Structure 1
Amino acid sequence: MSKKKPLSQGQLRRMRANQTKRLKRSDANDAPELQDNLLGPEQSGVVISRFGQHADIETIDGTVSRCNIRRAVTSLVTGDNVIVRLATEVQASSSIGGIVEAVHPRKSSLTRPDLYDGVKIIAANIDQILIVSSVLPSFTTQIIDRYLVASEDTDIPPIIILNKIDLLNDDNRDDIEQALARYQAIGYPVYRVSSHTGEGVEDIKALLNEKVSVFAGQSGVGKSSLINALMPEADLLIGGVSDNSGLGQHTTTTAKLLHFQSGGDLIDSPGVREFALWHLDATRVGWCFIEFRDFLGTCKFRDCKHGDDPGCALREALEAGHITQDRFNNYHRIIASLDEQRHARHFRAIDE
C-alpha cells in the first residue's frame, strides 16, 4: 500500500496554531463542569452530533443528552462510540446532561483536508459510502472517480447508486449503462433507484440494514430526496435543481447520526458534499484506482508520469484492455487538478 504523504512543516505549524486558538476560545467559553457527585455510573453511548465543546450522546436506552467533553478527549466526531456519565440531577439553569469521559478506538474515519488542520476527521465508524450520481445533473464519471479515490484512501467500502432512473431515455441510457458496467467489471457494486417513483428503494433499505452509512455526491443528484424516501421521519430539506444552471443547492448544515426504521444508521454530513483531494500525492491517487494496482511500480522508469513515457506499464495495460480509457483519463484529470488546488490554497493561506 502506498504511504500517505506526511504534512509539510508549514501545514503542521498552521494546524498547531489553529488548534491552540480553538483551545483558548473553548477555555474561555466552557460551561462549569458537572460535579462528580451529580453524575451516574459510566455507560456506553454514541455521538449523535457535535456542537463546539458539547456533543449530543445517545445511550443504549435511546435517551439523547447534551454533554460536556472532558479536556482529555482531544478528538470527538459524529459516530464515535464513547463512555459517558449522565447527570443524576440537571440544574434548571443548565441544559448539560452529562460528561463524555472517553472515546473507544475507531474502526474507520471519514476525513477531508483542511487548510489549517491538515487532514480533519469529520465522522467515525462508517461501514460504507454510498456514492450517489444521477441522470440529472448530467451524469459524469469524473465526479464518481473522485469519490472513489476518497473512499479508497479512507479504506471505507464504496457503493455506486444511480438516482433518478425515471429520467433515463434513448439519448442517455446507453452511455450511462456502459459507464456503470465498467465500474461493475472492476468490482464496485452498482444500484439503480428513483426516489421519485420508489423504484429500487427497497434494495437500498436492505443494503443499509445493520450498517452505518454515508451518502456522498455532488449537489443536485438527489441525496436528500433519496434519504427522505428511505427515512421520511428525518424531514430533511430538499434542494431543488436550478432551472438556469442545472446545479443543485446544498442543504445539509450539521453532521448528525440518524436511524433508519428498517435498520441501520445514517451519518448525514456537510463534510461529504465535496471530497477535496489536494492532500494526496500522485502515487496515492494511482493506488486508489484499484485496477491500476497490479501495474504500479512496474514501469521502466521510476519517475514515470503514466503519460507517453516509454515503458509505462499503465499505458501498456490500457492498450491491452486491462484499464479503460475513461478511468485512465479521469486519473490524469485528478492529478492535473492537485497542483492547481494546492496553489490556490497556498495563496489563500498567505492572504489570511
Structure 2
Amino acid sequence: MSKKKPLSKGQLRRMRDNQSKRLSRKASAADTPELQDNLLGAEQAGTVISRFGQHADIETIDGVTTRCNIRRNISSLVTGDKVIVRLATETQPGTGIGGIVEAVHPRTSSLTRPDLYDGVKIIAANIDQILIVSSVLPSFTTQIIDRYLVACEDTDISPIIVLNKVDLIDDDNQAEIDQALARYQAIGYPVYRVSSHTGEGVEKIKALLDDKVSIFAGQSGVGKSSLINALMPDADLLVGDVSDNSGLGQHTTTTARLLHFKSGGDLIDSPGVREFALWHLPAERVGWCFIEFREFLGTCKFRDCKHGDDPGCALQAALKSGHITQDRFYNYQKIITSLGEQRHARHFRSLED
C-alpha cells in the first residue's frame, strides 16, 4: 500500500485557517442570542445600514436603527439591501439585539469584488451610481480608472469620474491630466474636479448625490474619506495620510455602512481597495465594457481575434484611425493580460487547499 503524500506547508496553513474560520463561525452562532417569536412584532420594511458577522444594523422607515440577528436561511446580506424585519416588542437585557431580519428583497444592482480565495464577493447592493475617485497624489493613473469603469459597465451601474486634490495640480502634470480627463469626456463619461482641502467642486458633487444611492470607489490614499467628510461633516470618518515612504495610502474604512445626506440621497462608504481585480470576467466581456470598442467588436477578420497582432483586427484599425485612443487600448491590453495571471494565481492557491 502506497504512502500518502505529506501535506505541503501551504496546505497545512490553509487547513488551519479554514478550521479557525469554522470554529469562529460556530462560536459566533452559539453566542448569538435567539429571540422568541412571541417577543417579535409585525413585519416591516428596513434597509441594511451595515453588516457585522451574524448581525446587521437595520434602519426602518421611521428612521430608527436597530441591531438585528440574521435568519440562518439568508445566505447573503450586505449594506444597501432592502429587507423585511421584525423588531422585538420587549427589551431583553444584555443581548443588544432588537430584532430579526426575516427576508431580503431582490436587488436592483450589486457591486461585486472578486477574491482569490473566496470567489466573487458582493460589496454593496441597490446602488444607483459609482463615483470613481482618482487624485493627483499618490499618483494619477488611468489604469485604475479603467478597471473601475469596466466594473461599472459590467454591473450596469452609472459611473462618475471624480478627480480629487486638484489644488495639487502643477505645471508638470497639468497637461497629462487634462488630456486624460478629456478622453473620458469625449466618450461620454461625466468628469468632475474637486478638492476636499479647498472645497472646490464640492457643491457640484453634492448635487449629484441628491436622491441617489451612491458609492465611492478608488485606490487608498486618493482622499475618499476626506471628500466624504467635506460632503458630509457629520459622518466623522477616519482620514489616513499617504505614507511618505511608500506613497501608498493606508486603509481607513473597515466596514461598509450607509450614510444619509440631510438634503436627500444616501452614500455607502465601503472599504477601499488598491486595485479592482477583474479575473472573473471573460476577455470578451472586458472588451464590451470599453464602450467605444463596441461598434468594432465582432467585425474582425477572424472570429478568434485576440486584438493583438492578428491580421484584420478591427480594434487595431480603429486605433490607427483615431476612433480608439492609445491610452485606453493599452489599459485594455493590460487588463486582458492580468486576467490570465490572476486566474493562474487563484488556481495555484486552490491547489494548496
TM-score by length of structure 2 reads: 0.90
The verdict on how the C-alpha distance between 1:279 and 1:287 changes in structure 2, with shifts beyond 3 A counting, is same
For residue 75 of structure 1, report the CA deviation from its aligned partner. Answer: 1.5
1:89 corresponds to: 90
For residue 318 of structure 1, report the CA deviation from its aligned partner. Answer: 0.9
2:193 corresponds to: 192
1:36 corresponds to: 37
For residue 29 of structure 1, report the CA deviation from its aligned partner. Answer: 2.4
The verdict on how the C-alpha distance between 1:172 and 1:28 changes in structure 2, with shifts beyond 3 A counting, is closer
For residue 341 of structure 1, report the CA deviation from its aligned partner. Answer: 1.4
2:304 corresponds to: 303
2:65 corresponds to: 64
Q: How far apart are the structure 2 equivalents of 1:120 and 1:327?
A: 27
Runs of 4+ in 1 over 3 A off after TM superposition: 20-24, 271-274
Give the secondary structure class of the aligned counterpart of 1:270. coil
For residue 28 of structure 1, report the CA deviation from its aligned partner. Answer: 4.6
Q: How far apart are the structure 1 equivalents of 2:126 and 2:317?
A: 39
1:262 corresponds to: 263
Q: How far apart are the structure 1 equivalents of 2:33 and 2:229?
A: 39
The verdict on how the C-alpha distance between 1:219 and 1:272 changes in structure 2, with shifts beyond 3 A counting, is closer
Instruction: Note if contact 2:144-2:276 (Cα within 8 Å) is conserved in structure 1.
Output: no
Q: How far apart are the structure 2 equivalents of 1:104 and 1:22?
A: 30
Instruction: Note if contact 2:67-2:98 (Cα within 8 Å) is conserved in structure 1.
Output: yes
Larger mean CA deviation between 326-335 and 275-284 belongs to: 275-284
Q: How far apart are the structure 2 equivalents of 1:262 and 1:307?
A: 49
For residue 139 of structure 1, report the CA deviation from its aligned partner. Answer: 0.9
Larger mean CA deviation between 276-285 and 115-124 belongs to: 115-124
1:291 corresponds to: 292
For residue 99 of structure 1, report the CA deviation from its aligned partner. Answer: 0.7
Q: How far apart are the structure 2 equivalents of 1:42 and 1:259?
A: 24
Q: Which runs of 5+ in 1 are unaligned?
A: 1-16
CA deviations on 1:119-156 (whole Å, 9 max, x unpaired) are 22121001111000111122111111111111111111
The verdict on how the C-alpha distance between 1:271 and 1:132 changes in structure 2, with shifts beyond 3 A counting, is closer
1:226 corresponds to: 227
Instruction: Note if contact 2:242-2:249 (Cα within 8 Å) is conserved in structure 1.
Output: yes
Give the secondary structure class of the aligned counterpart of 2:192. strand
Instruction: Note if contact 2:29-2:54 (Cα within 8 Å) is conserved in structure 1.
Output: no
For residue 269 of structure 1, report the CA deviation from its aligned partner. Answer: 1.2
For residue 23 of structure 1, report the CA deviation from its aligned partner. Answer: 11
For residue 116 of structure 1, report the CA deviation from its aligned partner. Answer: 4.2
1:245 corresponds to: 246
Instruction: Note if contact 1:109-1:121 (Cα within 8 Å) is conserved in structure 2.
Output: yes
Q: Which residue type is aligned with residue 287 of structure 1?
A: W
The verdict on how the C-alpha distance between 1:148 and 1:111 changes in structure 2, with shifts beyond 3 A counting, is same
Matches within 5 A, 1:1-352: 25=26, 28-29=29-30, 31-270=32-271, 274-352=275-353
Instruction: Note if contact 1:112-1:271 (Cα within 8 Å) is conserved in structure 2.
Output: no
The share of aligned pairs that are identical, in percent, is 81
TM-score by length of structure 1 reads: 0.91
For residue 347 of structure 1, report the CA deviation from its aligned partner. Answer: 2.1
Q: How far apart are the structure 2 equivalents of 1:29 and 1:208?
A: 41
Q: How far apart are the structure 1 equivalents of 2:255 and 2:350?
A: 25
The verdict on how the C-alpha distance between 1:201 and 1:24 changes in structure 2, with shifts beyond 3 A counting, is closer
Instruction: Note if contact 2:219-2:273 (Cα within 8 Å) is conserved in structure 1.
Output: no
The verdict on how the C-alpha distance between 1:24 and 1:246 changes in structure 2, with shifts beyond 3 A counting, is closer
Instruction: Note if contact 1:26-1:53 (Cα within 8 Å) is conserved in structure 2.
Output: no
Q: How far apart are the structure 2 equivalents of 1:22 and 1:208?
A: 42
Q: Which runs of 5+ in 2 are unaligned?
A: 1-17
Instruction: Note if contact 1:164-1:195 (Cα within 8 Å) is conserved in structure 2.
Output: yes
Instruction: Note if contact 1:66-1:96 (Cα within 8 Å) is conserved in structure 2.
Output: yes
CA deviations on 1:78-102 (whole Å, 9 max, x unpaired) are 1001111100112112111001111
Q: How far apart are the structure 2 equivalents of 1:247 and 1:334?
A: 21
For residue 22 of structure 1, report the CA deviation from its aligned partner. Answer: 8.7
